[in-house]
DNA sequence: TTTCGCCTATATCGGTTCGATATATACCGG
DNA sequence: CCGGTATATATCGAACCGATATAGGCGAAA
């Protein structure tokens, strides 16, 4: 799922300028579903207009810079429906926290504890921010999605608080020279061989 | 968190070729923490070697192409420790499924139901695949991380199965012309104004 | 037996995206 | 009057993705 798809999805809910789209991403429900920068948005809009998916008009406003406001064409709305009707692709997910936990053996207990504290703090802050919004939005799809996110974040916080001691016990059990295999999946002989056959 | 960081993390667990790194991503625990392609890995390795974070040696193998095997230098191990010791950044997350749910009003009930079915199917398949591995790996950090993921996926499946009717009820309540505001966050006046002040 | 597909392995190319920065105007507070 | 913030568009280099090229060895099917 690329920037173009999300632009279509936002524009399907109303016309918007490039600046509006960025605001949606930073402050609205799309924030948690993937970021976007001006460096992506403006070229994407230009491409989509060239492809006939959107049209634009200049809007002069008193006291503010002029806006270029985009809206979907019929072709664009159809493209939007097509992309939303396709079977959902697996999520793209990249987690610094996850990598830190995988490398627990190489960290000090304090460092690891600080990472876990920070993660719990982040998730709790997000839960506090979103809980009242879920209530306000409960009669719209966005409310459903926020509840989905809240359920997941609550599970994560509970999991960490219950199991953190088990992870912290790994801290400091590896150093620069050690070659520990990360895992031992049945389909990954290369990893095992490599860590046992080293030298 | 960029490709370089994950390469450092994998290499901290043992030397590897570019091909090995790709295998780790496709089949190992890093798979769920962010993908990488050859088009990223090889340039990243070249950059890291130039920066003195890794060193390499040619390994000739009978019956197979020669491998270029990379390992961390002391500088590289320190860079790895530094990046793992930093406070965890928020996850990068992009979800086609999430966007589909947000656009529920524009979809038919059947299309939406199919998306929900597919999501549940995907998550259940992943749970089935990972559950036995969690048992095998329970004495390593990767086991902890897999349990973390399993807890989250189980929550998601339960949430969807319990609440799907509420989302499906939104299906078909919007069409091409409608300008429905997506949400009504206190910090997002532009969205409300735009959808009510259209025309 | 030879041909086809698969595995190992590295490399590159075009296009997309990110993050930072540039530019310009307007408004408000100190 | 100056600096900070908000609105608004645009661009640049670096990073990254997905596909493709290349090439030898392997085993199985035709």
Mean pLDDT of A152-181: 90
- Asked whether residue A3, judged by its CB, lies under 7 Å from any atom of the DNA or RNA strand C, the reply is yes
Q: Which of residues 3-62 of A touch B (CB under 8 A)?
A: 5-6, 9-10, 12-16, 20, 23-24, 27-30, 32-35
Sign of CA dihedral A71, A74, A80, A84: positive
Each residue of B37-81: pLDDT tens digit?
999 999 999 999 999 999 999 888 777 778 999 999 999 999 999
Inter-chain touch B156–A151, beta carbons under 8 Å: yes
Q: What is the pLDDT of residue A176?
A: 73
Element (H or E) spanning B150, and its range?
A: helix B141-168
- Asked whether residue A40, judged by its CB, lies under 7 Å from any atom of the DNA or RNA strand C, the reply is yes
The radius of gyration computed from the CA coordinates of chain B, to the nearest angstrom, equals 23
Burial class (CB in 10 A: 0-12, 13-18, 19+), A65: exposed
Compute how many other C-beta atoms are within 10 angstroms of the C-beta atom of residue B167.
21
Altogether, the residues listed in chain A come to a count of: 199
Q: What is the pLDDT of residue B64?
A: 77
- Closest listed residue to residue A33, CA positions, set B99, B191, B31, B32: B99
- Closest listed residue to residue B183, CA positions, set A32, A85, A173: A32
Within 8 A of B104 by CB-CB distance, chain A residues are: 141, 144
Each residue of A96-127: pLDDT tens digit?
999 999 999 999 999 999 999 999 999 999 99
Confidence of residue A174 (pLDDT cuts 50, 70, 90): confident
Residues A87 and B115: beta-carbon distance below 8 Å: yes
Within 8 A of B163 by CB-CB distance, chain A residues are: 144, 147-148
Q: What is the pLDDT of residue A188?
A: 38
Q: What is the DSSP string of A98-123?
A: HHHHHTGGGS-HHHHHHHHHHHHHHH
Lowest mean pLDDT segment, chosen from A24-38, A174-188, B15-29, B130-144:
A174-188
Instruction: Specify the higher pLDDT residue, B167 or A65.
Output: B167
Inter-chain touch B74–A176, beta carbons under 8 Å: yes
- Asked whether residue A45, judged by its CB, lies under 7 Å from any atom of the DNA or RNA strand C, the reply is no
Q: What is the pLDDT of residue B180?
A: 67
Q: What is the pLDDT of residue B165?
A: 97
Q: What is the pLDDT of residue A183?
A: 65
CATH fold of A3-85, please?
Answer: Arc Repressor Mutant, subunit A (1.10.10)
Mean pLDDT of chain B: 87
CA torsion A99-A102-A108-A109 (nearest 10°) is 110
Q: What is the pLDDT of residue A194?
A: 34
Domain ranges of chain B: 3-85, 96-174
Instruction: List the Cα angle A40/B84/B98 in 5-degree steps.
Output: 40
Each residue of A26-60: pLDDT tens digit?
887 788 887 789 999 999 999 999 999 999 998 88
């Amino acid at each position: 799922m690329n920037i173009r798809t999300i632009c279509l999805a936002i524009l399907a809910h109303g016309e918007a300028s490039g600046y509006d789209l960025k605001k949606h991403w930073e402050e609205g429900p799309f924030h948690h579903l993937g970021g976007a920068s001006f460096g992506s948005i403006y070229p994407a809009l230009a491409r989509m207009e060239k492809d006939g998916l959107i049209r634009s008009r200049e809007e002069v406003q008193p006291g503010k810079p002029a806006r270029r406001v985009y809206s979907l064409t019929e072709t664009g709305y159809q493209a939007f429906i097509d992309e939303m009707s396709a079977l959902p692709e697996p999520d793209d997910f990249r987690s610094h926290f996850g990598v830190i936990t995988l490398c627990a053996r190489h960290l000090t207990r304090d460092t690891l504890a600080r990472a876990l504290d920070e993660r719990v703090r982040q998730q709790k802050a997000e839960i506090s921010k979103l809980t009242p919004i879920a209530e306000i939005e409960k009669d719209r799809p966005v409310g459903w999605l926020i509840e989905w996110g809240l359920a997941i974040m609550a599970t994560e916080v509970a999991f960490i608080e219950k199991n953190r001691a088990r992870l912290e016990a790994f801290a400091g059990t590896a150093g620069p020279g050690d070659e520990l295999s990360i895992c031992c999946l049945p389909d990954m002989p290369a990893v095992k061989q490599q860590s046992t056959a080293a030298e």
